[in-house]
Structure 1
Amino acid sequence: MKIRIAIPFAGLALTACGQSEAGRPNVIYVFPDQYRNSSLGFWSDPEFAAEVGWKGDPVATPNLDRFAREATVLTEAVSNFPVSSPHRGMLLSGMYPERNGVVLNCMSERPESSLREDAECIGDVFSAAGYDCAYIGKLHADFPTKNNPQRPGTYVSD
């Protein structure tokens, strides 16, 4: 049985899924922030319910439930800046908001809140170690600009 660790701020999961061709673990980091932790169906499963002091909501999340059974699920964590963009900036860079530049939620009206271009992030570390890296979803950690080649995936529509 896999050891399951704890993280309940919106169901953060970090997992090693199998091995790559190079023999290193594949790493998938999931950061869902649009729902509360108890709104994941697997918390009603006795194996997971025993790890937390609350009851899961009566919801059906079959794909996330399957993913949780194959992953390491974290049930406890604390953010010293529980606002979306600054928190993401800290997770990515390992630096406090006043150091990494993401001091407010990022949006086109706030160019002053953006991840520093020289910030070494977890993706940079994995890439330097030979991993192929991708970010899927909203980065929400830097000032959105049209097709910024330094920050792929950032785009503001007209």
Structure 2
Amino acid sequence: MKWFRVVGILPAAWWLSAFVLGMATGALFRRSLPAMAVTLAVCALAFFGLLRAPSSYAKPERVVQTKVMDEPPPEDSLYVSSYWIDRSGVRFTSQERALALASPCGTDETTKKYDKCSFSHGYRQITEFHPANRFWQFQWTEAGILLIPALALGGVAVRRTLRPRI
């Protein structure tokens, strides 16, 4: 799902919403350069805002890895986050875990021996992801987030353009 935003209906929704936004800002400002600047700024804000949004569309699934041989999340899933917890449930980053285990397990984090040592000391790796079967749900949700305001902006642009000037 690394191509999540470039396949399906989402590219068309982005294109249409950016076009309508540009049309509406052009109708409101009646100047090309300010209309382009506002359109670019709003599209950039929307893109970076929606980049983080899929986690709020549905609760991500969790995989708790308790030993070295456990299966990772499916390759076609949408990755959300990965972190470590200890026996008491305290959350750690990989770097914090490495510092805590430097003396009992060593410092070479790339070996299976290090991973076995980490798990034997009570650490568990948590991976959160969205499975591939949520792809269309996310596509339609994000398309709706983009197209509903675009519909309203299209109405504003048409009204502004067709209104007689005095």
Relative to the length of structure 1, the TM-score reads 0.20
Q: Which has the higher contact order (CA 8 A, sep 6+)?
A: 2
Structure exhibiting the larger radius of gyration computed from Cα positions: 2
Relative to the length of structure 2, the TM-score reads 0.19
Structure number with the higher helix fraction is 2
